[in-house]
Structure 1
Amino acid sequence: MEEKRLIRSRTNKMICGVCGGIGEYFHIDPTIIRLIWVILTIGGFGSGLLAYIVAAVIIPEEF
């Protein structure tokens, strides 16, 4: 059995594949993850944008 890993998606991506990778990891539609991210960015005074940038740097890309 293959180990489950959080990775950025190459196929389901809009910018860097972070939301697509999170959606695939938790078996959730990536659109829901994107909506949550937008709400976090607008409601959190840009904290969602900072979190996305950090996640794009930290989470490895799918190989």
Structure 2
Amino acid sequence: MARAWWAWNRPEQTARALLDAHRASPGEVRDRPAIRSIVNELAERHPRTTGVRELQAAVVSTG
């Protein structure tokens, strides 16, 4: 779902969906290059969006 939100230019929903996915299965978010790319783009383009910093820290600290 996060990929769809990202394609629709919805950063808040993207971050929320990725955080939910990370809580359910960290490896699915952390280990997939396409998903990590979305996390990096979110952090670069929308650093103040709710959840982005938490998401980036979770992916970076576990990766």
- The structure richer in helix per residue is 2
State the TM-score, normalizing by the size of structure 1.
0.38
